[in-house]
Amino acid sequence: MRYAGLFSWMTKKKLTEEQVATYFVDTTFETVENGWPEVSSFLNGCPGFEQSPALDPEDYGRFLMIIVSANIQMIPNHFDSGVDRQVIQRICSKFARALDIAPETFAGKVKQYRAFMKQINRPSKNLGTAMTRAVFYKYHLNQYQDAYFRDMNTPEPNIQRELKCLMNHFLWDWEAFTESYRIVPA
């Protein structure tokens, strides 16, 4: 099997764009619904805050948008041109249906979150840091910090580092996904 690499594309499991979108949406909902209570618990008990932010473990809407936006941002790096747009479009459509809103509204919201994450993360391009800062700003955590960091309007470095470790668990491993699966037309 010296030349097995030449034929590896034949051994990959085939999925349609629709199946990829369904799998992404279902697992993202499950991960966020189970993960946000852990993240909110960490932040509520974080000794780096002067007082607990008292985040609601059920209030994961903004967290969902952060996770979806970050993962969608990575799709063009791992799929062929055209396929990436189809997958993203189907993902937005499925999320919109699940949330009972128009697909254009959901896609617009994703675009807003991506722009916001890019803005607050400048000059860094690290997606984990962008997600961390987005959680920090979208959940108004600055007001619970020590006055020094509150006045600078920046996350305290220890909180940011620990939260970033948690946030990296919510990023899809698209590289491993594309090694195992091949996207085929529906």
User: Stretch 37-57: mean pLDDT, rounded?
Assistant: 96
Q: Please give the model's pTM, rounded to 2 decimal places.
A: 0.91
Give a yes or no: residue 186 inside a domain: no
Element housing 149 (H / E): helix 147-152
Give a yes or no: residue 23 inside a domain: yes
pLDDT digits (tens, 9 = 90+) for 140-169: 999 999 999 999 999 999 999 999 999 999
pLDDT at 11 over 80: no
Residues 6 or more apart whose CB falls under 8 angstroms from that of 126 comprise none
Give a yes or no: residue 9 inside a domain: no
Q: How far apart (Å, rounded) are the C-alpha atoms in residues 84 and 153?
A: 36
Give a yes or no: residue 179 inside a domain: no
Strands of the chain (E only): list them. 13-16, 181-184
Q: At what angle do helices 157-167 and 17-44 cross, to 10 degrees?
A: 150
Give a yes or no: residue 185 inside a domain: no
Greater pLDDT, 20 or 186: 20
| Residue 92: domain span | 16-174
Give a yes or no: residue 122 inside a domain: yes
Q: What distances in angstroms separate CA 179 from CA 7, 11, 147, one per listed residue?
A: 13, 10, 47
Give a yes or no: residue 2 inside a domain: no
pLDDT band at residue 185 under the 50/70/90 scheme: confident
pLDDT at 95 over 50: yes
